[in-house]
Amino acid sequence: MEGAIVAAVVLAAATVFGLVRKRRDGVLRERRGNGMAGEPPDEQLLAVVELGERATLVQFSSAFCAPCRTTRRVLGEVAALVEGVSHVELDAEAHLELVRRLNVLRTPTTLVLDTAGREVRRAAGAPRKADVIAALGAAIG
Amino acid sequence: MQVDPRGQRFAAAVTTLVLIAVLVTGNAVLLAGQALVFAIATVGGLRLAPYGVVFRVLVRPRLGPPAELEEQAPPRFAQGVGLVFALAGTAGYALGADWLGIGATAFALGAAFLNAVFGFCLGCEMYPLIRRITTKIRSDREVPA
């Protein structure tokens, strides 16, 4: 009997979690406490990322990650489409220290950096193309 | 190697049903069977995974070709995570520690259900997080110079 109750609770909780996740997945958000005037760019990030002229899309990926492929395609297309924007993909495993510093919890995580390398937006999960382009507006504008 | 993602969803759905049955009956043998299924998929690869074979033989011929294929490494790793929980749960039920059996099976059920219904692979997503924690432990253990 206990087990059946646990099963019902788990299924209900997983349904709620799944629905919330689905809504949030890939949405580019402004980071809290990271306003436009914001903090200086992360030096360690700048050390490994070659910044684009106007903005940079940094993608954290890992080997065991199916949506990373979709993200790579989307960000690559946007970088090709928008002048002065570069796409840099980092292997989370090879940059664990950086992953910790930037508090990257999942792959793929996408950071939109402005021309100085400050984080303007971030998305966990594969972002949609239109959303990335809109976020670039915030980084460039 | 690439696999049909619908096969993963199907396998997750079957796993979900099996794990619900385990929780309702508290049957250690059934959970051990599921552990074996996880083990075959983890060690032998998804081609040999029992539920994957059922999908290929019975379900796939009725469907069209897949829209896209995916790498087998992420779901295979997730099967390994499932194996750990299934083994812990089997040990729990078999040794009379029902709380361990129920707890471990509940985690595995949550993950399988999310995969089946939402196509969300918890085991795959956990991978970088697990790496973060394990390397942190290792670096904490190192003697400072």
Using alpha carbons, list the distances in angstroms from residue B101 to A46, B22, B144: 48, 9, 41
The whole-angstrom distance between B102's CA and the closest CA on chain A is 6
Would the pLDDT of A85 be above 80?
yes
Biggest distance spanned by C-alpha atoms of chain B: 63
Whole-number average pLDDT of chain B:
88
Interface of A with B (CB under 8 A): 2-4, 6-7, 10-11, 13-15, 17-18, 21-22, 60, 62-66, 69, 92-93, 96, 99-100, 104-107
How high is the pLDDT of residue B120?
85
Name the residue ranges covered by the structural domains of chain A. 27-140
- Cβ atoms within 10 Å of B103's Cβ, excluding its own: 16
Residue A126 host element (H or E): none
What was the pLDDT predicted at B143?
55
Q: Which amino acid is at A19?
A: L
Interface predicted TM-score (ipTM) of this complex, two decimals: 0.83
pLDDT tens-place string over residues B63-107: 988 888 887 877 888 899 999 999 999 999 999 999 999 999 999
Q: What is the pLDDT of residue B74?
A: 79
CB contact under 8 A, A96 and B135: yes
The architecture (CATH level 2) of A27-140 comes to 3-Layer(aba) Sandwich (3.40)
Mean pLDDT of A48-57: 94
pLDDT tens track for A65-75: 778 889 999 99
Q: Reduced to 3 states, what is the DSSP secondary structure of residue A59?
A: strand
Residue whose pair of structure tokens reads 């190697």 in the numeric block: B1
Of B46, B68, B79, B129, which to mutate for an interface test with A (greatest number of A Cβ within 10 Å)?
A: B129
Distance between CA atoms of residues A104 and A60, nearest Å? 8
Give which of A49, A71, A46 is closest to A61, Cα–Cα.
Answer: A71
Once rounded to an integer, what is the mean pLDDT over residues B124-140? 68
Query: Would you place residue A127 in the very low, low, confident or very high pLDDT band (cuts 50, 70, 90)?
Result: very high
CA dihedral B22, B28, B33, B35 (to 10 degrees): 90
pLDDT in the model for residue A114: 92
Summarised one tens digit per residue, pLDDT across range B3-62 is: 888 999 999 999 999 999 999 999 999 999 999 999 999 999 988 999 999 999 999 999
d(C-alpha A77, C-alpha B110), whole Å: 35
Report the amino acid identity of residue A34.
Answer: N
Strand-strand pairing, A55-61 and A85-91: parallel
Distance CA B54, CA B62 (A): 12
